[in-house]
Amino acid sequence: MKNYRTNPEWPRLVHYETIGNLPEEFRNPTGNSRPRMRWWLPSAMLSMDGIEKDIRSMAEAGFSGAEVVPMPRFDTSGDFTIEWGTPKWKAFAGHILQTAAKYNFTIDFSMTPFWPLALPGITDASDPEQGAQMEADCAYLDGITKSRPYSGLIPVPSQAVEDAASAGTLPRLAAVTCARYTDKDTKTLAYSSARTFRLGEEVLQEEGDPLSWKITFCPEDEGEYVLFGWWEHPSGNKTCQNLQLDHYSPKATERLTCYWEKELIPYFGDDFSHMVSLFIDSLEFQTHLDWTWGFLESFREENQYDLAPYLPALYDPDSPGCFVSFPVPEFRFDEHNDQIIRDYQEFLTRLYVDNHLIPLTRFCEKHHINMRYQTSYGKDLELAQTAMYVTIPETETLYGGDILDFYRLQAGSMHLSGKQIYSIEASAEMNGRGNGGVNSGNYQQTWGNQLWHIQRAFSCCVNQAVFHGYSYEGYYDGEGNENGFLPGTHWPGYTTMGYSEFSNNWSSCQPNWLHVNHYTDFLARNQFILRQGTGRIDLAVYRQSYEEIIDFNHAVKLYDDDGLLEQNGYTYDFISPSALALSQTQAAETQHEPRRAVLAPDGPAYKALILDNQNFLPYETALRLREFASEGLPVLFVGSLPQQPAFHLEKEIAPLIEELLLLPWVKQVNTVQEVPAILEELQILPNARYHKRSRILNVCRHTPETDFYYFYNYGDADTYPQAQEMPAQDTPITLSGKGLPCLLDTWSGSIRPVAAYQEGDENVTISLHLEPNESCVIALTQNPACLGLDIPSLHTEDLTIRAEYDTSGQLYEKAFTGCSLPLGNWKLTLEKWSDSPIPSESIKTIFTYDHLDSLVPWKELPGQENASGTGIYETSFILEKAWEDNTGYVLKLGEICDSFSLMVNHREIPVNQSSSYVDISPFLHRGENTLTITIASTLLNALLDYTSRNAITYHKWQNEIRVPDAYGLWGEVYLLPYEKKVLSSL
């Protein structure tokens, strides 16, 4: 029986404290509540002034800090070496920390340059003490029978010889095994026939040749046998010309931490205090069969059987890791095949946790920083387990394919291990990858696109966005510089990821950086709220998996019910066997429903556990399920029941499942489509219950005084182009809890009471309207003072009207007249950006267009087919009635790309960038009024024009398939008048 940890020590989060009370922090988010930026540096080809310019730019833009990732120069050909760890790099890294302190900015360093993990100084890859990455490969012979015995050399895989040679060594024979075919066509082997030959006794080495081992083998029984030679060797994989590290070896981890403690931390001195985290990216190392020194011996000790005879069930010579393709082994066994595979995967996971994650995280704790890590995905490891053992687990939009369930894989681990921060790398796109559409990539990604990615993640409990990314602008004063820039750098500046490749270059080189603070403030307020208290999740979905389908392999929804749970308001996490084993994960009776229990009552308080066609369970997990269900936790089996133990040599679970089915809170349904009905029958209602099916996602954060609800209109869109076509959503929503409902405006920072709501015994009902790609935060508080509010004397229970409070606290209804006032006679001042001889600057040319009554995208204006830049739209209009006459006006905007700001009568007003409706009533007066709308675009169109006229000498340049985007303001713009009807009689 596999024994999972029941009381592990969770890492402590540091550097994420907030200052001030909630209303003040929400209004003006500070510190690490704000989003972060991945900052790509071209090795140590930097300048001190260039570092300061970049940090100042990011800090002024509202980012809390940068994740420093040294990269090779992909814009030139070469061997991609890097100067990381050299005295030159240390000097620049120290200056980064000092400059960060100057701008109240913080730094995360990637633990080694680029990725995967690699270190300089490994001189003997065959020495286990040096921690070089290992793998195993196989070669085999078949056709061996009693009548055709084999006497000869053990086959050697050529790939193993090549890989080992690249590391300056030779493969080592780890095992020789055999098994008999039961079906040669399908390469199925008889489990009962598999055996290992004794090295040194049955298999003898030829003197002087480590690759020559000889065997004489004559099967004792009938049938055709296969002889396998298993060879272990350093992979030879390199990152920036350094050998990659073994992620399963304590020696490799020790080498990595010692490098930091000897070479880097002492150099930084007191400046090290400006570091927040060390960061490690996803597991993209390429190995055929993940391995480490002493693997077979350690496996036998842990699992009580010899794995070697069954290695054919694991080995796929064509798969270098799940991030490229799932392993599809050439052979399989007729019995216990899948259980053996899971034994291997679980053992790898534990090696990764025990020898890599836990020591790294403890090292970070020792030095008062966090370990932020994209654990597991990309390899055969259990992501839901590994995420628990780092300070800050991180996911990403690209590999997850923006699939909501991919984010939920780590959310359960986050909630059950008490983590406060769940981070995301957001949001790389390139020509179809990343869900931006075929026509997507660098210098094109819009703010609306970025919000689509991030808000989806927020709705699955992510609460820290790390932008992908910011390229160092190219300033260089070292030998070979060209006018103060890196050699070969041209407009629009040094670009790490290529001009037509992965998005995005978020920086002042793009016009839409003009409005960056609108977005960073918005994201910071959302992140701040999504870190309050404890996440409360309605349901737990059981999942034991070691192969997560990422975007390379066409990521799919994991709990696929066509969105039924989500669209009825239910939230869910995925939880694994390791999570169920935690001592903190226990059933406890709820206060209001004594006959029913919840899971993890001090944490997510799951109301039910769902097992979706789960055919196998670890024996320990089956015991836990019986315990929980006996205490009153509802357990729902969907489809087939678990009948097989998850692992080899475990006890049978069928008797436990039979006992489970006899308990009153255990139910079985045929399909996932039946789950909402059975939940309703059991009176298991969501924390936020939609009165009609809606394409809205929600998150609940619980504190003793206040429940915070985050809502997002995802529109059931799988890509950003689809999201642009999704409809608005309207529904009454019943929120669990008591108190005053309040709207926390994440665009302006204001907090105001909701004016229309209905109170129940243990809930409050409001009406919610969300535009496409729009989100909002509703708080339900029993202490309005904690939000800086007084309890209004009046509210309305009529959810069909649009009721609000004015600045004096007066309750009123917005009674729209049904007419509209079109706005015309626009003046457009277009500042067109184009290429400049100075790489980091653009030439800006002014074009003026007067008396425009029909607004069109800039590219439809004469001569502006490739225009990027900013556009200022101005008009004026006369009103006979205004706010002082109890008449209000909502401005309805046309189509906008990309970002915008709004001034009414020369006063800038905060705007919701996700909505085309803006109430501008308080800023209007009788008579003439002026309206100014400033639009900022991406740089794509100007870049396309530039690359059409200039040969781009970029090493990774790929053919440009993009076409110019539509920028500006187009379509109809008008005012929607309404009467302000005071509701003082209520």
> Quick one: pLDDT at residue 501?
84
687 neighbors 735 (Cβ within 8 angstroms): yes
Contact 337, 305 (CB under 8 A): no
Tokens of 205: 């080495």
* Residues 64, 275: Cα–Cα separation, whole Å: 12
d(CA 182, CA 333) in angstroms, rounded, equals: 9
CA pair distance 616, 931, nearest whole angstrom: 64
Cis ω for the linkage preceding 359 (within 30 of 0): no
pTM above 0.75, yes or no: yes
C-alpha to C-alpha distance for 392 and 413, rounded to whole angstroms: 11
DSSP-derived 3-state class of residue 609 = strand
- Region class of 273: left (phi > 0), else alpha (psi between -120 and 50), else beta: alpha
Q: How many CB atoms lie within 10 A of CB 269?
A: 10
Q: In what order do the strands lie in the sheet with 907-909?
A: 843-852, 826-834, 869-879, 927-936, 899-904, 907-909
Instruction: Divide the 986 residues of the chain into consecutive groups of 10 and give the mean pLDDT of each group.
Output: 80 88 95 96 95 98 98 72 91 98 98 93 96 98 98 98 97 99 98 98 93 97 98 96 96 98 96 97 93 98 98 93 80 98 98 98 98 93 96 95 95 95 95 79 95 98 98 94 93 88 94 98 98 98 88 77 97 96 62 73 96 97 95 96 97 97 96 98 97 97 97 93 92 97 98 97 96 97 95 93 92 94 98 97 98 97 97 98 95 97 97 97 97 98 93 63 94 97 74
pLDDT digits (tens, 9 = 90+) for 816-871: 999 999 999 999 999 999 999 999 999 999 999 999 999 999 999 999 999 999 99
Which own/partner contact pairs does 851-855 have at CB distance under 8 Å and 24+ positions apart? 851/825, 851/826, 851/827, 852/824, 852/825, 852/826, 852/827, 852/828, 853/824, 853/825, 853/826, 855/826, 855/894, 855/968, 855/969, 855/970, 855/971, 855/973
The model's pLDDT over 740-770, given as tens digits with 9 standing for 90+, comes to 999 999 999 999 999 999 999 999 999 999 9
pLDDT at residue number 693: 96
Q: Exposure pattern of 715-729 as b/e (b: 16+ CB <10 Å)? A: bebebbbebbebeeb
Span 187-241, pLDDT tens digits: 999 999 999 999 999 999 998 899 999 999 999 999 999 999 999 999 999 998 9
Ordered structural domains, the chain, with CATH = 128-238+290-343 (no CATH), 576-681 (no CATH), 821-982 (2.60.120.260)
Longest dimension (CA), the chain: 106
pLDDT score of 114: 87
Q: What is the pLDDT of residue 592?
A: 44
Written as six digits, the tokens of 587 are 């059933």
User: Could you give the CA distance from residue 76 to residue 956 in angstroms, rounded to a whole number?
Assistant: 8
DSSP secondary structure of 309-327: GGGGGT--TT-S-TTT---
CA distances from 159 to 165, 238, 852 (A): 10, 16, 68
Rounded CA separation 940/371 (Å): 36
The answer to whether 410 and 461 are in contact (CB under 8 A) is: no
Strand partners, 137: 231
φ/ψ of 272, rounded to 5, equals -60, -20
Strand partners, 635: 609, 666
Residues 6+ apart with CB under 8 A from 139: 155, 156, 157, 158, 160, 228, 229, 231
- Cα(691)–Cα(767) distance, rounded to whole angstroms? 10
- Which of helix, strand or coil describes residue 449? helix
pLDDT at 555: 72
How is residue 870 written in tokens?
A: 């900013």
DSSP code, position 837:
S
Query: What's the start-to-end Cα distance of the chain, in Å?
Result: 66
CA 82 to chain centre: 28
Residue 306 · residue 300 · CB < 8 Å: yes
- Between vectors from CA 356 to CA 353 and to CA 361, what angle results, nearest 5°? 90
Whether 245 and 237 have beta carbons less than 8 Å apart is answered as no
Residue with tokens 């006006």: 889
DSSP symbol at 353: I
Report the half-sphere exposure of 547 (CA within 13 A, side-chain side): 17
Cβ(285)–Cβ(115) below 8 Å: no
CA distance 477 to 483: 8
